[in-house]
Structure 1
Amino acid sequence: MVPLALFFVLLTVPVLDFSGDTKNITAKPEEDVLLHCQGPRGAKVELVKWSRTDLDPDKFYVFFLRGNHTNGIYQLPSYHDRVTLSDPETKEGNVSVVLENVSGNDTGTYECRVGIREGEEPKVYSTIHLKVEDPAAEDKEGYHRLVVGLSVAGVLIALSIPCFIICCIIWKRRNRLTKSNSYNNVPAE
């Protein structure tokens, strides 16, 4: 019974859909970024919808294509005139888009849905998390860490100086006491 179940699992694994995996992309401000999405090869793409999962994806979108026409009515204003298909003919199911001139506001999770048949609910083919990192902000953060580190080091040094002085005083007194005791304990000849 177990070998038959194992055979069934091994037979079905290659058929499973792993499109739920999120790809991570990191970019710098003002760069153009390719958001990759591969729909089914050989099928005529009827609908392409790119949306941000954190910005009400049912109501607004980043890019929308139905047939051969883009629709900007419900496009998020910050994406207007900044998103284009990397292959306008969507050959072989390539519905990747180029997001131009990215900024920190573009950081988020993007989802690509593709519809093949008219009236059919589009399916998710790609999920991408884009992080736009500002090197200037990283420099400021590094500077802040340096200042904090130097401040802590300064406090530790400031506290260690009095401790050092007290230790020296105690050592000197103890040394004096040992010398005076050694003179007092010298046997008379």
Structure 2
Amino acid sequence: MAGRGTSVCLTLVSFAVLPFVSADQNITTTTGEMVSLPCRAPNNKIRVIEWRRPDLKPELVLVYRGGRFVVGDQHPSFKNRVDLQERQMKDGNVSLMLKNVTNSDDGTYKCRVFMEEAHSWEHISSITLSVVDPPGQPGGHTEDGSVGLKVGLPVFGLLVVAVAIVF
């Protein structure tokens, strides 16, 4: 029993010494929504924040350096749709806000920061985002959601005509 307590204690101490712990998460959202992809780094001297999606070319989703967004190499599908939850990075919060989510936003997002004191890049988190259509709104629906009525009535009409011809 003493051995088990010691191992738990050592584990807790080792996590307490680390400046941050890399987190991997799965998040599901619906199309059209705004979603926050969490990322928390040590709040001491963050020089650069990068969010990437490795399956895209270019893979940059957001770059924040020197109090400004750098959009030169940003993937075009994210222009004007991404922001930081806290531009002041209170408590190390460098979470990504993604607006007007679409199905093409499905993928894995990686957060990393360049730390001034360490002079190195640190991977903070990987978030797998799954985007689904809202309930009752399957793909191919119209703006007013009336796909069933617009398709169903003509089909019903054809069935009535076919039955009338047969009889």
TM-score by length of 2: 0.69
Conserved 8 A contact 1:46-1:118: no
State the partner residue of 1:13: 11
Which protein is bigger by CA-based radius of gyration?
A: 1
Query: Are 1:126 and 2:125 counterparts?
Result: yes
Q: Distance in 1 between matches of 2:28 and 2:22?
A: 19
Deviation at 1:139, TM superposition (A): 9.9
Deviation at 1:44, TM superposition (A): 2.1
- Aligned pairs for 1:135-154 (under 5 A) are 135=134, 136-137=137-138
State the partner residue of 1:26: 28
- Structure 1 stretches of 4+ with a deviation exceeding 6 A read none
Q: Distance in 1 between matches of 2:118 and 2:40?
A: 20
Q: Distance in 2 between matches of 1:115 and 1:44?
A: 9
| CA 1:21–1:37: 2 relative to 1, 3 Å | closer
Q: Which string of whole-angstrom CA distances, capped at 9 and with x for unpartnered residues, describes residues 88-112 of structure 1?
A: 1112211112100000000111111
Secondary structure, aligned partner of 2:71: coil
Secondary structure, aligned partner of 2:91: helix
Aligned residues: 135
Which sections of structure 1, spanning at least 5 residues, go unmatched?
A: 141-189
Q: Distance in 1 between matches of 2:89 and 2:23?
A: 22
Q: Once the two structures are aligned, what percentage of the paired residues are identical?
A: 34
Query: Are 1:38 and 2:37 counterparts?
Result: no
State the partner residue of 1:63: 62
> Which structure has greater strand proportion?
2
Conserved 8 A contact 1:82-1:101: yes
Which sections of structure 2, spanning at least 5 residues, go unmatched?
A: 142-167
Conserved 8 A contact 1:27-1:130: yes
Query: Are 1:51 and 2:52 counterparts?
Result: yes
Q: Distance in 2 between matches of 1:63 and 1:119?
A: 22
Q: Distance in 2 between matches of 1:20 and 1:139?
A: 38
State the partner residue of 1:143: none
Conserved 8 A contact 1:113-1:122: yes
Q: Distance in 2 between matches of 1:40 and 1:83?
A: 22
- Aligned pairs for 1:66-145 (under 5 A) are 66-117=65-116, 120-135=119-134, 136-137=137-138
Deviation at 1:137, TM superposition (A): 3.0
TM-score by length of 1: 0.61
